[in-house]
Amino acid sequence: MSLILPNRRISRRQLLQWSGFAGGSLLLNSCGSNFGVTEVGNATEPFNQVVQSLITSQRPVPEFSARQIEPEALLINSFTDAPVIDPKTFRLSVTGEVNNPMQLSLTELQNMPKRSMVIRHVCVEGWAAVVQWGGVRLADLIALAQPKPGVKYVYFKSADGYYESWDLAASLHPQTLLAYEKNGEALPVDNGAPLRLAAPIKLGYKQSKWVTEVMVLSQLLPEKGYWEDQGYEWFGGL
């Protein structure tokens, strides 16, 4: 499959059009650029800040240097055993309200422009770790899939049955990756290989491991996320 990337910069017009709010003054919720947990006013419709918040959410979070990586600090924290996935036959499906649904092999993903970052991974249980992640920007995949007008959410399905949903603004953040590398080496299975979410703007339970499908939607489904459906906050931002 031949991949031709469009301009990797997401324009203000595109971002607003994809979110379905161009020309409107509807209220949104986005992660912004601060490090505090964002409070969500309504779990079923979390967009409750001004449109400008969505734009500022594209600002990068400060990163760490390679010498600050904490190799032993990232704990293995999963609700199931690691699934068995053959990287040679693995395919990532990009589906939903898009004009160009795709199935991409791990090799095709690795041939896309790579983004590497050293960030702090924060767990809701109270621990944190500075980790290097390398992979493809989720914004690049969404752009390739050509989302239809009005999309607001991105769902993630995992091989172990885990499921998550994010707001579109956080999904398009330049530091939101589908990672296949950890600390300069191939991503270990226990950390989510062959592909996992990694971002400095969401808590750990939002960063799904073993991702097999990315689904772009205009409506938030009743099943919002594995832990959210058991009472955790939906937005899960930092």
Amino acid 57: pLDDT = 59
182 domain residue, yes or no: yes
Q: Across-strand partners of 74?
A: none
Do the strands 128-137 and 115-122 form a parallel or antiparallel pair, or are they unpaired?
antiparallel
Report helix, strand or coil for 196. Answer: strand
Among residues 56, 68, 96, 79, the alpha carbon closest in space to that of 201 is found at: 56
- Compute the distance between CA of residue 20 and CA of residue 120 in angstroms, rounded to an integer: 31
- Compute the distance between CA of residue 121 and CA of residue 129 in angstroms, rounded to an integer: 5
Write the pLDDT tens digit of every residue in 148-181.
Answer: 999 999 999 999 999 999 999 999 999 999 999 9
- Compute the distance between CA of residue 164 and CA of residue 181 in angstroms, rounded to an integer: 21
Write the pLDDT tens digit of every residue in 1-38.
Answer: 434 444 444 444 444 444 443 333 222 222 222 333 33
* 43: pLDDT strictly greater than 80: no
Residue 107 backbone phi and psi in degrees, to 5: -60, -40
Quick check: 98 and 143 in contact, CB under 8 A?
A: no
235 domain residue, yes or no: no
4 domain residue, yes or no: no
> Which of 27-31, 52-56, 231-235 is least confident?
27-31
Q: Mean pLDDT, to the nearest integer, of 66-78?
A: 89
96: left (phi over 0), alpha (psi -120 to 50) or beta: left
Report helix, strand or coil for 135. Answer: strand
Percent residues over pLDDT 90 in the chain: 69
33 domain residue, yes or no: yes
Domain of residue 142, CATH code:
3.90.420.10
User: In which domain, by residue range, is 19 found?
Assistant: 12-230
Reported as a pLDDT band with limits 50, 70 and 90, residue 233 is: very high
Task: Copy the structure tokens of residue 166.
Answer: 């994010």
7 domain residue, yes or no: no
Amino acid 179: pLDDT = 98
Considering its fold, how many domains does the chain have in total?
1
Amino acid 76: pLDDT = 85
Write the pLDDT tens digit of every residue in 115-154.
Answer: 999 999 999 989 999 999 999 999 999 999 999 999 999 9
223 domain residue, yes or no: yes
6 domain residue, yes or no: no
Amino acid 10: pLDDT = 43
Amino acid 79: pLDDT = 64
Q: Mean pLDDT, to the nearest integer, of 39-67?
A: 57
236 domain residue, yes or no: no
Per-chain mean pLDDT for the chain: 81
